[in-house]
Amino acid sequence: MVIVLFVLLLYKELLAYFQTALLAFKVKGPKPLPFVGNALLINDSKKLEKIGSDCYEEYGPVFRAWISFIPTIFIYQPDHLQAVLGSSKQTDKNFLYSYMHNFIGEGLITNNGYKWLTHRKYIQSYFNINYLDRCVKTFSKHSKMLIKKLDNSDGLIKITNFVNDSVLNVLHEIVFGLQAEDEELKTKSPFRKGKLLVHERLTKPWMLFEFLYRLTSYGDMEITQKSKLQNFTKQVLENKKANRKVNREHSLLDIFIKISETHFDFTEEDIINEACTFMLAGQDSVSSAISFTLYFLAKYTEYQDRAREEVDEILDSCENNPKVSDLNDMKYLGCCIKEALRLCPSVPIIARKLSEKLVLDDITLPSGCNVFIAPYITHRLKHLYPNPEEYNPERFFSENGKSRHPYSFIPFSAGPRNCLGYKFAMLEMKTIISYLLRNYCIHLDQRSDKLNVLYRITLRAKGGIWIKLEKR
């Protein structure tokens, strides 16, 4: 029986491979390089940027890319994105995510099928307004601590470092209930040093095979990292379980323990995997988006002034202690953040493996086809965003976006597998940025005048972002 199942599975995989390969030979796409194929596309935002500006004219509505010997299809038109991301039948992630297992374990981001669906349902039900209001208190506390630190700096700073630190402190408190003031935490937490190596694997074809990868120093490093993250989480979990009665904080770990008490299919291993997933999902994504927004606001001060006017009025009215509703009222700041996420989407590639065949206009994508979606490309399509390279928050005024397709802006993905932390992230970003605008006028330092982005599964600013702070 097991052998029959194995043969059937192998047949299905091979069929999907050959059907996608056949399609990849028919569809146009950028010129592949020997061995790596077009893997650099997933590694290099400059290439994505270039393709984004002229892909439609050059390749038509979809294009193929070879990730070494693996054929993939890139889609970028909003109606095509909706057909994949919007479908409850196309929720499976592809091989790209299995390369993240070594690092973040098998949590919501990488899981598929029943496990993903049940975990999503269990966890999502806790992300309600009461929970978010509690989170906002933590965001405010850490924003105030950030301002104190910045007040003690000399004003010329690499803001990316400060923001990364602050976001990580928020996560330690919200996920684990650990306080940032705890000096030991700073040196002990392995989440400060985590590094995802997917991009290294994609450009070295032999590393695509798990058993070969594990023999390399990268594989070794990743496994060591994984066990450090998991051991740390396990220890915090054990402490939490032991002190649960006296422990009154409602961290995500407390929530996960509660879920495991009512759902037998949410095990201790799941708690650890999901805690690691949230620690990593909420880290670079948020700090990059904050840093990029600050870059644009520092560069285009007319938008900074207008955002500050709004922030001052709202923070005055709530005496500097915003709630979810106050942050939701920061509409202009919201547009500034969205426009930064349009140009610099923290997650520049999303991928799926089709569970069933899909017809997109006159092209049929076979079941099992690896589909790649690049918000980086979609967000630069000229017919959706005229002058796409120009930073202009007004694109997101409600009256200006009415005619835009709902899948033309996808920094948080969309559909049933969209970002679970979307509202959390927007509130966190608004809190931190509003405190900064409230306290300082932000000027761009000349060494960061030209933005160079670096792709590492999440997008980052190469060399960090240097700004000058002028106390108000």
* Binds ligand HEM by CB under 6 A, chosen from 286, 294, 311, 330: 286
Terminal-to-terminal C-alpha distance of the chain:
73
Task: Name the residue nearer to ligand HEM (CB basis): 112 or 392.
Answer: 112
Residue placing its CB nearer to ligand HEM in the complex, 32 or 281: 281
Instruction: Kindly indicate which of the ranges 14-22, 136-144, 353-361, 408-416 contains the residues binding ligand HEM, using the contact rule CB under 6 A.
Output: 408-416
Residue 368 makes contact with ligand HEM by CB under 6 A = no
Q: How far is the CB of 384 from ligand HEM (least distance, A)?
A: 18
| Three-state SS at 354 | coil
Q: Does 253 bind ligand HEM (CB under 6 A)?
A: no
Query: Rule CB under 6 A: is residue 421 a binding residue for ligand HEM?
Result: yes
In the complex, the smallest distance separating the C-beta of residue 415 from ligand HEM, rounded to whole angstroms, is: 9
**Residue 232 in contact with ligand HEM, rule: CB under 6 A:** no
419 is in an annotated binding site: yes
**Closest CB 284 distance from ligand HEM, rounded Å:** 9
Can you spell out the DSSP letters for 184-248? HHHHH-GGGT----HHHHHTSGGGGSHHHHTTSHHHHHHHHHHHHHHHHHHHHHHHHHHTTTT--
DSSP three-state, residue 408: helix
Site size with ligand HEM, rule: CB under 6 A: 22
Residue (64 or 430) nearer to ligand HEM, CB:
430
Q: Which of 48, 100, 425, 437 binds ligand HEM (CB under 6 A)?
A: 425
Give least dist CB 196 to ligand HEM, A.
Answer: 13
* Cα gap 383→385, rounded to integer Å: 6
Tokens for 157, please give them. 């700073």
CB of 170 to ligand HEM, least distance (A): 9
**By the rule CB under 6 A, 354 interacts with ligand HEM:** no
Stretch that binds ligand HEM, among 8-16, 21-29, 363-371, 420-428 (CB under 6 A): 420-428
Strand order in the sheet with 440-444: 156-158, 466-471, 440-444
* Residues 350 and 379: beta-carbon distance below 8 Å: no
d(CA 49, CA 337): 20
Classified as helix, coil or strand, 453 is strand
Distance CA 351, CA 372 (A): 4
According to the binding rule CB under 6 A, does residue 417 interact with ligand HEM? yes
The residue of the chain with the least Cβ separation from ligand HEM equals 421
* The binder of ligand HEM chosen from 63, 191, 213, 278 (CB under 6 A): 278
Q: How far apart are CB 411 and ligand HEM at their closest, in Å?
A: 5
Q: Which of 82, 95, 94 lies closest to 378 in space, CA to CA?
A: 82
Per the CB < 8 A criterion, the answer to whether 69 and 209 are in contact is: no
322 in Cβ contact with 315 (< 8 Å): yes
Report the amino acid identity of residue 21: A
Q: Using alpha carbons only, what angle is made at residue 152 by residues 147 and 156, rounded to the nearest 5 degrees?
A: 90
- Neighbour tally for 323: CB within 10 Å: 16
Q: Is 120 in the site for ligand HEM (CB under 6 A)?
A: yes
With contacts defined by CB under 6 A, name the span among 24-32, 263-271, 418-426, 439-447 that binds ligand HEM.
418-426
Single out the residue of 40, 47, 54 nearest to residue 380, CA to CA. 54
Instruction: Report 192-211 residues binding ligand HEM (CB under 6 A).
Output: none
Check binding of 37 to ligand HEM (CB under 6 A): no
Find the binder of ligand HEM among 71, 194, 393, 411 (CB under 6 A).
Answer: 411
Q: Is 374 in the site for ligand HEM (CB under 6 A)?
A: no
Cα 241 to Cα 43, 173, 248, 253, 255, distances in angstroms: 41, 16, 12, 10, 12
Say if residue 276 is exposed, middle or buried (CB neighbours under 10 Å; 0-12, 13-18, 19+): buried
Q: How large is the angle between the packed helices 284-299 and 301-317, nearest 10 degrees?
A: 120
282 sits near ligand HEM (criterion: CB under 6 A): yes
Q: Mask 381-400, x = binds ligand HEM (CB under 6 A)?
A: --------------------
Among 441, 385, 372, smallest CA distance to 27 is for 372
User: Beta strand pairing status for 370-373 and 70-75?
Assistant: parallel
Cα radius of gyration (the chain)? 22
Is there binding between residue 448 and ligand HEM (CB under 6 A)?
A: no
Residue 344: both structure tokens together: 């610099």
Q: Are 103 and 222 in contact (CB under 8 A)?
A: yes
The verdict on 281 binding ligand HEM (CB under 6 A) reads yes
Name which position in 424, 435, 440, 455 contacts ligand HEM (CB under 6 A): 424
Which of 16, 163 has the CB closer to ligand HEM?
A: 163
Residue placing its CB nearer to ligand HEM in the complex, 108 or 136: 108
Task: Output the known binding site.
Answer: 419
* Binding-site annotation, residues for heme: 419
Which residue ranges make up the site for ligand HEM (CB under 6 A)? 108-109, 120, 277-278, 281-282, 285-286, 289, 346-347, 350, 411-413, 417, 419-421, 424-425
